[in-house]
Structure 1
Amino acid sequence: MSAIKDNWRVLLLALFIGFAVVALFIPGGIVADDSLGGNESVQSSPTNLEFGLGLEGGTRIRVPVTGMTAEDIASDAVSDNGQVDEERLEELESTLQNELDLDPADTNVNVQDDGTVTAEVFTDDVTEAEFASALQSANVDASEDDIRDGVTQQTRDQIIETIQTKINAAGLSGGTAYQSATLGEDYYIVVEVPNMGASELRSLLSERGVVEVQAYYPTENGTHTNETVLTGDRIADIDPPEQNQRGDGYFVPVQVREDAAPGFQQQMNDLGFTSEGVGQCSLRGDGEDINFNHEGQQYCLLTVVDGEVIDAHSMGDDSRSGTGLATSMRNGEWANDPTFQMGAPDQERAQSLSVNLRAGSLRAPLDMENNQVYSIEASHAEQFKEYSLLIGLLSVITVSGVVYSRYTDTRVALPMIVTAMAEVVILLGFAALIRMPLDLSHVAGFIAVVGTGVDDLVIIADEVMDEGDVSSVRVFQSRFRKAFWVIGAAAATTVVALSPLAVLSLGDLKGFAIITILGVFIGVLITRPAYGDILRRLLTDR
């Protein structure tokens, strides 16, 4: 028991190394990959580490958000005690849609955290003058001077969250989305995805992902009309795409939210889809577009993504067994288990449909005409990875040689080298645990951690050994505490100096700062005290 008490710092270091090894080398050892797909390069890797653009190849896109914002309007919508008049907000949004002829997805009126009301339009087809005029029609005292380009922080946060969900749902391991800003307060959405070309990423981001199910059915005058009967935000759960075994194409099994299921069921009954419309859809396309030139009555459920009809299918039923979607809706039983299938013509669009349903639609479209693209070929990234490994090994060998030549005592030099390497292992394990995509900037941070770590260990060894005999435990502890105060002060200075780089959007400098700061904390709290205990056991009389 006394041995554990005297050497708990070394045991703590061993425990952290054990956790790091599990996180690094055992698949799903601590945190399993929850993405739908998988990055093949990560799956075939001997470690659980994920790599960013510099070490894996891929694309980074920096793009602004399309939209205009009118801030601090309609003070009558929020009372002095903070109560929000929802009817007034709905009136404002409805007036904007009617006056500007916009879809509901292209307008937003919301109360911000500071209690003010903002109105946003997400389109390039509206001028500032038209926006101001629409607000005036809603009894809002607004002019062109009150309107600015760009969207609110709340909208940008929603876009980043949606894009991150899209990346994860598409199985693009290591991808990330975040915000950057210029000194002129222009905001951009930055998306980085390893192992993806620029055209593929542009295609993923250019899709706003607004999914609807529309009912296409005949009217009393002999024509046909479209009516939206279900939107993506009313979908509660989505299963992976499946191939249609009874015909061509694919489908995505979905479950409708419980509060939306009765209304959808009633609409299908009222519009005739569960009676005379069963099986009455023969619309087919050429693989790209659905052909609406037809004869006779059609009862089709259309899968619509961003205004484009990608598939049309009828309500199915099995009259012999009395089962099927139409029967369960007629009987009112479907709402108890509200599942059905959304169609897609091919696997690619079925997967895209599934991703859009899981992630939801982008709150505002991205201005892809003004995007900035940075990409690295996978072959170049593989070279960078090899060079990074080589540089890391050279730094370890060089540091080890310098340390041994200085002390020529394996009792001092060997624990110093092992402790410094343990710090890197713990950092790598932490990166694997949180699935941090490692890039060249992180590699620079690891090298800096090795350098600063060995510096601190040299300070400890010199302070302990330079003043003569150190066989007494009391003398050792006194000298070690003095050295540790120096190390603590240096660590605090490093953290303070690098903190701005870690929190500001300064590109690759951020990754360097984060790894270095983490290394400093691990060193001060875990590895430096453990090295002190190891030296005490080796140099003092026990």
Structure 2
Amino acid sequence: MADDESTAKKIFTDVRVIVMLALVIFSILSIYVLPPAFDKGVEGNIQLGLDLQGGSWVQLSFQSEVVRFSSPTMSADALAQKIWDKAGIEAVAVSDDKIEIRKLLTQEEVENLFNEIGDVKLVAYTQGVSKETADDVKRILEDKVNNLGTQDAKINTISGSNNVATYIRIELAGTDISTAQDLVSSQGKFEIRIVTEGNETAHVLYGDSVTSVSRPSQSPPGSGSWGVAFTLSEDGAKALRDACIQYGATKEPEKHYLNMYLDGEQVYDAPLSSDLATKLLTGTVNDLRASTGMGDDGLEKAQVLEIHLRAGALPVDVTTAGLGSVSAQMGDYFKFVCIIAALLALGAVGVTVYLRYHEPSIVLPMLLTNIAELIILLGFSRYVQQLDLASIAGLIAVIGTGIDQLIVVTDEVLHEGKVPSPNVYLKRFKRALVIITVAAATVIFAMVPLILMDLSTLKGFAIITILGVLVGVIVTRPAYGKIIMAILSKKPAKEISSDSKDE
């Protein structure tokens, strides 16, 4: 009894074991208590993908192209302006020799347009959008999803090797196809109002008067002051001028704020600049700029404001390239199969370890450490990753790789069937940690491309696998080393079998 108490004391007073147990408790609290989620079943707060919960997915194709050109006299910005002047098609510069044409044209049509402009030659043609535009589209869709409270959503762009995004895929767990399509195509109600006096405001114009919205930029360039430029139609510019004159904003601009609302919620407010007020006294102004502040905070606010000014409209047209759904019943079936697969994996691991060592005091700590690792992973995934079938596959893979590394630790520290002296033990244990750290680094390097290559169906697998490797190397392997030392140090040599040999 005294030996058991001493062993337990050695285990539960070690800082590595305490850290592991603390993370297990934190993970359980995250899943079920922060916030309370006892009514959500076994998954608690864990976000389930549409594979496990049921839902819909929509894949959109961008109606645009990125082209490379050559011209001895014309810059990318100049060519974009020429395209607008010649054909009334919006185009933006991507790099010194690339532009994005925001209307779907065939390669032949682009060549004909360049011939009409003159002094420019088409070098390469790829349907899709630039990475910057794809990020804008993703941000706008994420904003829509968040505004509707649809948190269980995954939005991923699909790009080729030339960094041109061709598709964007939206997965909405618990959402039917009709709602998913409406979400993609819907626009909000955007309104600008002017402060008249006190807290009173008056309507100025709606979002249909905003004809174009530019990307966030610094003005002057390099100043660090961010903002969003936008253009009003003639009617919108006249409505703005009339309101500013009527309510005295041209005389006292600092007292008359322009407030912007999206679906009734205020998203921006700022007074007129004195320069704009002076210009409005003499005529209408179509080109406006909303300043959002300095530095990273100003950039973030500018990116959000750009979305609001567009009222949820995407910068390029899209068409549905594919859609589908998973029924809730099928999701329940997948959940059941995943649970069975995880239990079978744990059972198979337990039998394999027992056949190797024939010692329950080794098998039980290994399995409990593996289970602790899974709980920690599930707790972390509650914050960083939806659980879909690919993520579950990553969890099951972690069970196998985790046990493999625990076997490496066990074999390294055993010496003629028992734990050696503390100095030899530490030497062997450090050697084991070096081995599993190198193996972990190899796994991480193998998984990183799956995260970076826009393979949305495999990204969850890669993220969970990397998290599992990091949790194992940093937390559970060191804790297991202490546990196994405390347990095996009191065992006679004849009780334990191992293939390890002393140096």
The correspondence for 1:58, drawn from 49, 55, 58, is 55
Task: Give the direction of change, closer, same or farther, for the CA distance of 1:122–1:4 in structure 2 (3 Å limit).
Answer: same
The secondary structure found in structure 1 opposite 2:27 is helix
Instruction: Describe how 1:145-160 pairs up with structure 2 within 5 A.
Output: 147-160=125-138
- 2:285 aligns with none
Distance 2:167 2:357 in 1: 53
| 1:519 maps to amino acid | G
The correspondence for 2:183, drawn from 180, 188, 204, is 204
Contact 1:166 1:356 (C-alpha < 8 Å) held by counterparts: no
Q: Deviation digits for residues 485-539 of structure 1, max 9, x if unmatched? A: 4433443443444444444344533322332232122212221111001122233
2:93 is aligned with 1:110 = yes
- Give unmatched runs, 5+ long, in structure 2: 1-9, 194-205, 217-226, 265-306, 491-503
- Return the offset for 1:168: 2.3
The alignment's C-alpha RMSD in Å is 4.5
- Give unmatched runs, 5+ long, in structure 1: 30-39, 79-87, 215-225, 237-256, 276-325, 345-354
- Return the offset for 1:171: 1.8
Task: Give the direction of change, closer, same or farther, for the CA distance of 1:76–1:9 in structure 2 (3 Å limit).
Answer: farther
- 2:29 aligns with 22
| 1:171 maps to amino acid | G
- 1:192 aligns with 171
Distance 1:211 1:205 in 2: 17
TM-score, length-scaled by structure 2: 0.68
| 2:133 maps to amino acid | T
Distance 1:5 1:76 in 2: 74
| 1:176 maps to amino acid | K
Contact 1:265 1:332 (C-alpha < 8 Å) held by counterparts: no
Q: Deviation digits for residues 123-163 of structure 1, max 9, x if unmatched? A: 24x555554455456554235x6554333333223222322
| 2:400 maps to amino acid | G
Contact 1:56 1:381 (C-alpha < 8 Å) held by counterparts: yes
The secondary structure found in structure 2 opposite 1:395 is helix
| 1:187 maps to amino acid | T
The correspondence for 1:168, drawn from 136, 146, 151, is 146
Task: Give the direction of change, closer, same or farther, for the CA distance of 1:487–1:392 in structure 2 (3 Å limit).
Answer: same
The secondary structure found in structure 2 opposite 1:438 is coil
Distance 1:358 1:41 in 2: 40
- 2:364 aligns with 414
| 1:170 maps to amino acid | L
- 1:268 aligns with 239
Distance 1:392 1:123 in 2: 49
- 1:391 aligns with 341
Distance 1:155 1:395 in 2: 44
Contact 1:212 1:232 (C-alpha < 8 Å) held by counterparts: no
- 2:83 aligns with 96
Distance 1:359 1:43 in 2: 34
Contact 2:418 2:488 (C-alpha < 8 Å) held by counterparts: no
- 1:10 aligns with 17
Instruction: Describe how 1:16-95 pairs up with structure 2 within 5 A.
Output: 16-28=23-35, 47-73=44-70, 89=77, 92-95=79-82
- Return the offset for 1:208: 7.2
2:92 is aligned with 1:121 = no
The secondary structure found in structure 2 opposite 1:48 is coil
- 2:498 aligns with none
- Return the offset for 1:378: 1.5
Q: Deviation digits for residues 250-292 of structure 1, max 9, x if unmatched? A: xxxxxxx999999999843754x699xxxxxxxxxxxxxxxxx
Task: Give the direction of change, closer, same or farther, for the CA distance of 1:468–1:161 in structure 2 (3 Å limit).
Answer: same
Distance 2:257 2:406 in 1: 64
The correspondence for 2:323, drawn from 360, 373, 379, is 373
Task: Give the direction of change, closer, same or farther, for the CA distance of 1:117–1:335 in structure 2 (3 Å limit).
Answer: farther
Moved more, 169-178 or 65-74: 65-74
- Return the offset for 1:366: 1.2
2:259 is aligned with 1:339 = yes
Task: Give the direction of change, closer, same or farther, for the CA distance of 1:228–1:182 in structure 2 (3 Å limit).
Answer: closer
Distance 2:229 2:83 in 1: 28
Moved more, 327-336 or 132-141: 327-336
Distance 1:207 1:464 in 2: 62
2:454 is aligned with 1:508 = no
